[in-house]
Chains A and B, each alone.
Chain A
Amino acid sequence: MYPENFRYTKEHEWVKVEGGTATIGITLHAQGELGDIVYVDLPKVGTKVEQGKTFGSVESVKAVSDIYSPVSGEVSSINEALNTTPEKLNADPHGEAWLIQVKLSIPTEVDGLMKAADYQAYLGA
């Protein structure tokens, strides 16, 4: 359910690192807690993000939730499809509905994040 090649944050974001680029999204658990997602606010390409700092928000019918960056770097790509189809975040949060891609400035940061097993234990706690 939680891919082994992702790392996870306590705020329920996931990050997948390939080369020097990280793909970031919210977890299955996060979308379930939010409920029907109706709006996604993402930064522009070129924006600098910092580990642990908010870079955008996801809104459900009921609430607004800040998204915190798992890593530091510069936004290289955003998932434009979510502007028109935010509900994809409910359907496929670990796949098609990734949020942003970041060119890493501190590649070692990701080592401090939870692995899939740790995250699942964290959810169970």
Chain B
Amino acid sequence: MLESSALKVTPLNSLHRQMGAKMVDFGGWGMPVQYSGILDEHQTVRERVGLFDVSHMGEIEIRGPEALDLVNFVSTNNAAKLKIGQAHYAGLLYAHGGFVDDILVHKVADDHYFLCVNAGNQDKDFEHIVESNTFTATVENAGPRYAQIAVQGPRGLETLKKLTATDLAAIKYYHFADGEVSGTTARIARTGYTGEDGFEIYVSPDEAPRLWHELMEAGKEFGIKPAGLGARNTLRMEASMALYGHEIDATISPLEAGLNWIVKFDKGDFQGRAALESQRAAGITRTLAGFEMQGRGIGRDGYEIQIDGHKAGWVTSGGPAPTLGKNIGLCYLPVDKSAVGQVIQVMVRNQPVDAVVVPTPFYKRAK
């Protein structure tokens, strides 16, 4: 429908169509936005298990004796702390302190790091890292070599367990193991973008359709369903996870986005460091906050926020939170007006509707 021949597709594209998915253009990719419905898919992931095609995500591999030096120079977190088989979240910053992208860094070996990056940013990220490579490391834009399937939800482990000899329970959160899933080489990471337990599996694109079928079959007894980008967005919003182009972009720093925990000033130099140090010294003026609508109306991405009749910020992501049964959102506010309990007005179609600042994340799963 909305797809043109110019759109990139994942190896699962025709499968999505067969399963009745509604397809959309997402950052130049033809992707499923929903199958059975966003609310149903959302609930399936919270209560049982959902399967996501996230093959549009990019992969960048950094290798060589100076791989760590390059990774630590281009990203904000300290990759020297990673053990082999461990992953962490990090920012890829410009010198001025804004985000090129947000990424996951996996340490495969002392001389090999595997980065998972946003679909729409992968070429930009690759060029940025190559330009920053004053080291001997090699940088590969490896996206075409990988498909990625996310198995998310409380029954995810039991589903995946049927197809692999790898001890899944031994993989801790934000760790991964290289093994096999139904006979094909796979990187199995206990990561996700839903706020639930689950796994993200990186495999060869040729194997993805078969793996998808087998996962759907393995999860049948647990009520598995395919889930699209619509549910992925409501799930990550409830978990208050940032989305590039919304909570973060080239004009936003990690300190403003509440991501201080991924900025390690106690390591060596890194891109954006000087800018962040100045910002830290001067103090930030705006910060990301969570809100809950009080009046009737839904705050949506991009809506203006007012306090006492004056423009005070904007909504970065907003909409219904299916698990909570409330209308929620994330927004930028002046630091001195961002405390929990602060009353704000979201401008819904030019009408102010009351909302209140609440703690984030909105949703946290019971351990």
Contact = CB atoms under 8 A, between A and B. Distances in A.
A64 B300 contact: yes
Interface string A31-72: 000011011010000000000000001011110100000000
Interface residues of A, number: 12
Given A38-B320, A39-B298, A62 B33 contact: yes
B38 A35 contact: yes
Interface in B259-303: 296-298, 300
Contacts of B297: 39, 41
Interface of A: 35-36, 38-39, 41, 57, 59-62, 64, 83
A57 B348 CA distance: 11
A39 B40 CA distance: 17
Interface of B: 22, 33-34, 37-40, 230, 233-234, 296-298, 300, 319-320, 322, 327, 349
Given A61-B230, A62-B319, A64-B300, A35 B37 contact: yes
Contacts of B34: 35
Contacts of B233: 62
B33 A59 contact: no
B322 A61 contact: yes
A38 B234 CA distance: 13
Given A61-B319, A61-B322, A62-B319, A36 B349 contact: no
A41 B37 CA distance: 22
Nearest to A64: B300
Nearest to B322: A61
A59 B297 CA distance: 10
A61 B39 contact: yes
A36 B37 contact: yes
Contact of A59 (B234, B298, B322): B298
Contacts of A39: 296-298, 320, 327
A59 B33 CA distance: 16
Contacts of A36: 37-40
A61 B227 CA distance: 14
